[in-house]
Amino acid sequence: MTIRSTLPGGDQSALRHLNTRRVLEALYDGPPLTISGVARVTGLSRPTAQAILASLTDSGLLRPDGHDMIKTGGRPAQRYRFNAAAGLLAGIDIGAHAVAVRIADLNGVLQTGVRRAVPADLPAGERLQTALTLLDQALPHQTARLWAAGVGTPGIVDSGGAVRLSVAVPGWTGVRLAEEIGRRLDCPVAAMKDANLAVLAEHRHGTGRDVSHVLYVHVGHRLGVGPCSSTATPSPAAPARQARSAAIPSSAGRRRPRDFWPRRAQAPSKRSSPAPGRASRGR
């Protein structure tokens, strides 16, 4: 499939976005590259690669990473690498007996976290406020901004991030979790059943990476199960697409949400969850 077949005719903005995403994915998943290296890996022309690298470096998404030591007879070429410190991701775990927040960089590496025990009969509004208070405490001040948040909670959570049924958390049924937290944060928010997030994290980052099918069992104050297979993950469509976003510079130099959040940074809210087969307690 060619670029021409995927774009409206003459849409240079969409073409630039696709090219920028291609460069970001190459540097996110791979080693530092020179301009020529990026052009070779992505299939872009050298002038196009050079312009995109300059734009992404100005935006903070990339940073210089020394020079290529291969002798070519000229000046050593500058290398570029993805800057994981350009933004932050938040994982929020709202349970019946505790609320926890974890902060990770754009590579999904844990930066900080905080947890607070709460009474099971805490009203829904106070439970939400506790999560937001902990998030404010966990976020490093005067550093990179929060790009996206994932929220896990027990119960049946629909594709819009609303809790349709929760037996474990009194008064939690009907809470529009993604919407309520999203309107308080200046970033995309996705909410899912906590066991589904846990199995997704194990499948992508934990003990389930090398298998096709994973079953996560949560054992504590309650029992929860999350299934996952390589052909059908439990991720809801719309919120997941919205949360897989990062700031790609626009043609005017402003930063705006775009659909780029590589796989290894997708599930911060359950990154520290126990692997399948281990008991999990605390909610």
Domain boundaries, the chain: 3-82, 85-270
Strand partners, 140: none
Among 116-130, 159-173, 231-245, whose mean pLDDT is lowest? 231-245
CA–centroid distance for 24 within its chain: 15
Residues 6+ apart with CB under 8 A from 15: 3, 7
- In this prediction, residue 261 carries a pLDDT of 38
Cβ atoms < 10 Å from Cβ of 226: 25
| Residue 9 amino acid letter | G
- In this prediction, residue 256 carries a pLDDT of 36
Is a pLDDT exceeding 90 seen at residue 249?
no
- In this prediction, residue 71 carries a pLDDT of 60
- In this prediction, residue 43 carries a pLDDT of 94
- In this prediction, residue 270 carries a pLDDT of 42
Bigger pLDDT: 167 vs 273: 167
pLDDT band at 266 (very low <50, low <70, confident <90, very high): very low
- In this prediction, residue 205 carries a pLDDT of 76
Is a pLDDT exceeding 50 seen at residue 280?
no
How would you classify the pairing of strands 213-219 and 223-229?
antiparallel
Question: Which helix (H) or strand (E) covers residue 247, if one does?
Answer: strand 246-249
Give percent of the chain above pLDDT 70.
Answer: 73
- In this prediction, residue 231 carries a pLDDT of 58
77 DSSP 8-state letter: P
pLDDT band at 142 (very low <50, low <70, confident <90, very high): low
Tokens of 198: 């846990």
Give the chain's mean pLDDT.
78
- In this prediction, residue 69 carries a pLDDT of 65
pLDDT band at 72 (very low <50, low <70, confident <90, very high): low
Alpha helices in the chain (DSSP H): 3-6, 12-29, 35-42, 46-59, 124-138, 177-182, 194-205, 237-243
The whole-number average pLDDT for the span 250-255 is 40
- pTM for the structure as a whole: 0.70
Same fold yes or no, 3-82 and 85-270: no
Q: Give the CB-side neighbour count of residue 92, counting CA atoms within 13 A.
A: 29
Tokens of 218: 């949560």
Question: Which helix (H) or strand (E) covers residue 157, if one does?
Answer: strand 156-157
Strand partners, 98: 117
Is a pLDDT exceeding 60 seen at residue 63?
yes
Going by C-alpha positions, the residue among 272, 155, 112 that lies closest to residue 202 is 272
- In this prediction, residue 248 carries a pLDDT of 52
Domain covering 85-270, topology = Nucleotidyltransferase; domain 5 (3.30.420)
Question: CATH second-level architecture of 3-82?
Answer: Orthogonal Bundle (1.10)
Distance CA 162, CA 156 (A): 8
The whole-number average pLDDT for the span 32-45 is 94
